[in-house]
Amino acid sequence: MTNDFGFDILGTAFSITVDEDEAYLQKVLSQYRAAVENTQNISGIKEPLNIAILTGFLLCDEINKMKRQLENESVEVAERTMKLIAKLDHMFGNGGDDQNIQT
């Protein structure tokens, strides 16, 4: 279902057509407003366009750091899984005599 969603940020009104429900969009808008406020507080910038640009940059930085963290965690999980599989293969290959499994 397509909806029109209107909002005002940094003194500029926007209206967009979206396929999301209003509660979700309000949550996203609230997060963006908080990010804008944080940018204003840490930078002291007053120009709305500059605030919006810097906020966008900082949010992209945060997204990329989170992606990197998830990728690192995924690699770690895969490595631990392979070690566990190898230990299980070893146990069953030895007839189950290996009692000391450490992960």
SS3 82: helix
Q: What is the DSSP string of 44-76?
A: ----HHHHHHHHHHHHHHHHHHHHHHHHHHHHH
Least trusted range by pLDDT, from 39-48, 57-66, 74-83, 92-101: 92-101
Does residue 96 have a pLDDT over 60?
Answer: no
For the chain, give every domain's residue range.
3-93
Closest-CA residue to 102 (of 88, 43, 45): 88
Q: For the segment 32-54, what is each residue's pLDDT rounded down to a tens digit?
A: 999 999 999 999 999 999 999 99
